[in-house]
Amino acid sequence: MIYEFTTLSKNTITRIVFGWIFCVLIYQLCNNLMLHQLQDPVLIQTDLDLSYWAVFYSEIPAFINANFIASISFDSVLFLLFIATIIFPEKQLLRISSTILFFLYVVQLNTFMCWHYHNLMPLILILFPLCFKNVLSFSILFKALRYFVLFIYGSAAIWKLVRGSVFNHGQMNWIIDSNFKERISNTNYELNIFEDFILMIGNHPELAQIILVLGILIEFIFLIGFFTTKYDMFLIILAILFHIGTSILVDVSFVQLWILFLTLVPFSKINLPRLGFHQN
């Protein structure tokens, strides 16, 4: 079943998505992670990613980062395009231009930081369907993205099983120790009650292993979405709780990606402006 959004409802989703990513850009700016804040980086790491190679072979990053004016101009245009898209969501040229610039920003940031952050690149996936003017094309791609989101979580569980992480009884202990080693090594840093509790878990291998297995089981649950949409709202709640848990226990936050859960929302049951649907 493919739900066909109306133009008005598509514009509403466009505002939600671009508004969310605009907030992400504000966060990046406040944390000195925009291109003009990287202080003329010289080291790069593209890994075996053809899209990254294509961007750097185009000499676009070299031009943008050649001087401060070029980089701050790029960042400014990126912000302005997102603002304009939020105001005029019906303008396809704005949506496409914003998506292209955001893609260039993410590729350059990940390459210059020499670490491919997983909390930004997937955002391009939800921008891509919005670039299409035809509402049916958007509806089909938006539905397809739902399955990709389910694949992200389900494959993560399968990967941990194949790699044997679930059978490694020291895995969770190592993760906790790794995240807290800087705080523990700092003699001037005093752990609070909450941090003491996390370290206590790390000191009990059996408890830590139970938490690891529970996390993997939660990821496996997302595979049910391939067979039914009945539990999509439950999966959204489960995903948010899962990310809150990983943020607390292993100090890894993926709040930026929560907008992807929009693909799991049962829009056919929500009174979004003039929202209609078409069954295939």
* pLDDT tens, position by position, 196-211: 777 787 778 788 888 8
Does 120 share its domain with 191? Answer: no
Is 96 part of any domain?
yes
Does 31 share its domain with 150? Answer: no
What CA–CA distance (Å, rounded) separates 175 from 177? Answer: 6
- Which pLDDT does position 137 carry in this prediction? 93
The whole model's pTM is what? 0.85
Percentage of the chain lying above the pLDDT 70 cut: 93
Instruction: Please list, in sequence order, all residues whose beta carbon lies within 8 angstroms of the beta carbon of residue 155, skipping any fewer than 6 positions away.
Output: none
Does 39 share its domain with 127? Answer: yes
- Counting the structural domains of the chain, the total is 2
Does 97 share its domain with 152? Answer: no
Is 258 within 8 Å of 237 (Cβ atoms)? no
Is 47 part of any domain?
yes
Does 117 share its domain with 157? Answer: no
Does 180 share its domain with 208? Answer: yes
> Last residue of a domain, which of 133, 166, 185?
133
Tell me what the mean pLDDT of segment 37-41 comes to: 78
Does 206 share its domain with 168? Answer: yes
Better-predicted residue by pLDDT, 254 or 128 = 128
Does 252 share its domain with 152? Answer: yes
- Which pLDDT does position 275 carry in this prediction? 39
Better-predicted residue by pLDDT, 243 or 171 = 243
Does 126 share its domain with 165? Answer: no
Span 240-264, pLDDT tens digits:
999 988 888 877 778 999 999 999 9
Is 102 within 8 Å of 127 (Cβ atoms)? yes
Tell me which residue range forms the domain holding 67: 1-133
Is 124 within 8 Å of 258 (Cβ atoms)? no
Q: In which band, very low, low, confident or very high, does the pLDDT at 187 lie, cut at 50, 70 and 90? A: low
Retrieve residue 248's tokens: 């607390």
> Last residue of a domain, which of 103, 133, 163?
133
Tell me what the mean pLDDT of segment 70-96 comes to: 96
